[in-house]
Amino acid sequence: MKMKERFHAICRFLTMVSQGNHRVLFWLLGSAFAAATLPYLSLFFSARILNLLLAKSYRACLYTVVVFLLTQYGLGLFEKICRQYLDGQKELCLARTEQKITAKALELEFEKFEKTETMDAIRRTNVSSMGSGNVGDQLIVIHTLITSLLSVLYALFFLLRLFLLSDSSRNNFFTSPFSMLALLLLCGVQLALSSRINRRSTQKKIELNQGNDHSNSVANYLVNVMLEERRADDIRIGHLDHFLDVQFGKAMEHFLPMYLDFARFSAITDGKNALLSLLSNFAAYLVIGARALYGVLPIGDVLLYAGSVTRAMSDLQTFLATGSEFDYINSYLSTYEDFIAQPSMAYDGTLPIEKRDDGQYEFAFHDVSFSYPGTNIPVLEHVTLSFAVGEKTALVGRNGAGKTTLIKLLCRLYEPTSGYITLNGIDIRKYSYKEYTQAFSVVFQDFHLFSLPLDENIAAGTEIDEAALQSSLAKVGLTDRVQQLPQGIRTRLYNNNGSGVDLSGGEAQRTAIARALYKDAPFVILDEPTAALDPIAEAEIYKQFSQMTAGKTAVYISHRMSSCKFCDRIIVLDHGRIAEDGTHDTLLANHGIYANLYETQAQYYT
């Protein structure tokens, strides 16, 4: 990265992190200034104290020691305070970026979110381990950059003074400006060699992290799987612990040799750098010491000037190495910036959903076909159907027939590959996505309850209405169970965030249905809503189904054919096409797929 580009990237980064708290710049600059000044303060006063001692000016020496200690204490304290605030800010920045990443991920249209590139970008923007760097690390890298730059400026100031102290009248190499030029030349050569070595080292670090990207992500995934409470029984009973351990071992096998190789390489790099520093430090002490012996400068000043040269060399090296590190982290952060800046939806309409008390929301599919992105396998083919207002429809078919996919298209999680879907005659893409999704209450097969209080799970981010909450619980038959809970409706679910209660599969499913009913949307979709319910609970839900969804349009996906009897209409999907459409009685009389499915199930109950 060129200096100018790097400067712009630093400015952009600082603008980003100082959003919401401008004091971060003060802490950053204050801490960098103090950190750069302290070593030179020490060099300057040490030289001065030594000179005063050699001149036997004890009183002035004592006075200088006091000033030195007080200044050092004050500046040191200031540096520590700024640094503490900066470290706090580092954590805050990290939390804020993570918050932005999750907010953006949830805002992204589902089709985009599901893509491997998006998942990859999320992982890369979230990287914080194994030295890949993150927004917090970058703040500290910039701190180091500014500190080392200021430090080099201090060193240059003292070296310029040393240069001007030349005494050409003595006709001696050490007292002439040539000795200084030779020293500077040697330092320049050392710097060039060191930066070459450091560039190679940064490159190696990039290769290491990139080479580890995959196995790192596998290892993180496996750790999460092994520590997930709700998978613990599955793992134990299925004896999957050994299997997972072996997989983890394989991931480690991949990255451990790379780390060892990098450690060996780093040790050699450090050794080379230390040797080069040794040479330049020796030259600095030789030239400056000789100048002092020839009387060009006081003996004590050898400490100041030779110290300045050695510091300048190490700070320049730090500056160059940190610059490469900045570029490297920046490449990760630019993935973050691109991720945040991308439009959340390829296209979003603007129309609001008409608010209707009569619930007249009619959805229709018009010759809709669909293949999942990145595949050309048709999952739905030429589907044309409309959901009459207030009608209860059952959607049935074998596994993989396309039932859930049809619902996902209806909810605009995907766009049809061809054909279109309308709401009250208007293409659903013309509606604002946020508004449109308000029309649905959905319970998917893989619904998720959160480790939060039960009432918050049901209200799902909306204001808690006690009466509506109780009514939803009553409809799904959970009132008595909730009364038994330690804190009633305020009881936390699961143990992820402190102690909570575990719900049975059926209770969890009923809670998810209660959440859908609480939303009170005009269109209710239940995808396999009773799979985990016992037969009595299931029969009760069916009995109440019409009442629960009174005045609403409802779609019901189920593999239990007996449940379909309660619906006004049954649609049979087969290989992505509508194979049958009618009532329970007409379809039975047709002796088609539905009749076959129904009779096959029924024979186990007779």
Ligand X SMILES: Nc1ncnc2c1ncn2[C@@H]1O[C@H](COP(=O)(O)OP(=O)(O)OP(=O)(O)O)[C@@H](O)[C@H]1O
CB of 378 to ligand X, least distance (A): 10
Site for ligand X in 124-153 (CB under 6 A): none
CB of 372 to ligand X, least distance (A): 3
∠ Cα 212 216 222 (to 5°)? 155
249-265 burial, b at 16+ Cβ within 10 Å, e below that, comes to: eebeebbeebeeebeee
**Residue placing its CB nearer to ligand X in the complex, 346 or 377:** 377
**Residue placing its CB nearer to ligand X in the complex, 83 or 403:** 403
**Residue placing its CB nearer to ligand X in the complex, 187 or 396:** 396
Q: How far apart are CA 68 and CA 64, in angstroms?
A: 6
**Residue placing its CB nearer to ligand X in the complex, 469 or 570:** 570
CB of 577 to ligand X, least distance (A): 12
Site for ligand X in 323-342 (CB under 6 A): none
E strands of 329-483, at which residues?
363-371, 378-387, 392-396, 418-423, 426-427, 440-443
**Beta strand 553-557 pairing with 523-527:** parallel
Site for ligand X in 392-411 (CB under 6 A): 397, 399-405
**Residue placing its CB nearer to ligand X in the complex, 136 or 397:** 397
Tokens of 250: 């394989």
**Residue placing its CB nearer to ligand X in the complex, 304 or 401:** 401
Task: Return the residue of 146, 162, 306, 379 that touches ligand X, per CB under 6 A.
Answer: 379
CB of 481 to ligand X, least distance (A): 28
**Can you say whether residue 295 is alpha, beta or left, with left for phi > 0 and alpha for psi between -120 and 50 degrees?**
left
**Residue placing its CB nearer to ligand X in the complex, 139 or 383:** 383
CB of 208 to ligand X, least distance (A): 34
x-or-dash string of contact with ligand X, 187-226, rule CB under 6 A = ----------------------------------------
The phi, psi pair for 425, rounded to 5°, reads 85, -5
CB of 407 to ligand X, least distance (A): 8
With CB under 6 A, what is the number of residues at the site for ligand X? 11
Q: How far apart are CA 581 and CA 138, in angstroms?
A: 61
Q: How far apart are CA 173 and CA 287, in angstroms?
A: 9
Cα atoms in the Cβ-side hemisphere of radius 13 Å centred on 448: 3
**Residue placing its CB nearer to ligand X in the complex, 402 or 500:** 402
CB of 344 to ligand X, least distance (A): 19
CB of 528 to ligand X, least distance (A): 7
Task: Return the residue of 116, 169, 171, 375 that touches ligand X, per CB under 6 A.
Answer: 375
**Residue placing its CB nearer to ligand X in the complex, 208 or 401:** 401
**Residue placing its CB nearer to ligand X in the complex, 39 or 419:** 419
489 secondary structure, DSSP code? G
**Residue placing its CB nearer to ligand X in the complex, 409 or 548:** 409
Tokens of 166: 């030349």
CB of 513 to ligand X, least distance (A): 17
CB of 273 to ligand X, least distance (A): 51
**Can you say whether residue 374 is alpha, beta or left, with left for phi > 0 and alpha for psi between -120 and 50 degrees?**
left
Q: Which amino acid is at 190?
A: Q
Instruction: Kindly report the three-state secondary structure assignment for every residue of 371-392.
Output: ECCCCCCEEEEEEEEEECCCCE
Q: Which residues pair with 396 in a beta bridge?
A: 572
Measured between its terminal Cα atoms, the distance across the chain in Å is 76
- How many CB atoms are located within 10 Å of the residue 146 CB? 20
Question: Of the listed pieces 30-38, 371-379, 384-392, 420-428, which binds ligand X according to CB under 6 A?
Answer: 371-379
CB of 401 to ligand X, least distance (A): 4
**Residue placing its CB nearer to ligand X in the complex, 45 or 440:** 440
418-423: strand order across its sheet: 378-387, 363-371, 418-423, 426-427
Tokens of 334: 């630019």
Q: Which amino acid is at 351?
A: L
**Residue placing its CB nearer to ligand X in the complex, 24 or 557:** 557
Q: Find out whether 342 and 361 touch, Cβ atoms under 8 Å.
A: no
Q: Find out whether 554 and 575 touch, Cβ atoms under 8 Å.
A: no
Q: How far apart are CA 395 and CA 386, in angstroms?
A: 13
Is residue 563 at the binding interface for ligand X, with CB under 6 A as the rule?
Answer: no
**Residue placing its CB nearer to ligand X in the complex, 350 or 375:** 375
Q: How far apart are CA 544 and CA 547, in angstroms?
A: 5
CB of 594 to ligand X, least distance (A): 14
CB of 82 to ligand X, least distance (A): 50
**Residue placing its CB nearer to ligand X in the complex, 136 or 402:** 402
CB of 368 to ligand X, least distance (A): 13
Task: Please enumerate in sequence order all residues whose Cβ is within 8 A of that of 233, keeping only pairs 6 or more positions apart, or say none.
Answer: none
- Smallest Cα–Cα separation from 530: which of 546, 553, 508? 508
Q: Which amino acid is at 550?
A: A
358 secondary structure, DSSP code? T
CB of 408 to ligand X, least distance (A): 7
Task: Return the residue of 68, 113, 372, 420 that touches ligand X, per CB under 6 A.
Answer: 372
The sign of the torsion formed by the CA atoms of 58, 60, 66, 70 equals negative
Residues across the chain: 606
Q: Percent helix, strand and coil across the chain, each rounded to 5?
A: 65, 10, 25
Residues that bind ligand X (CB under 6 A): 372, 375, 379, 397, 399-405
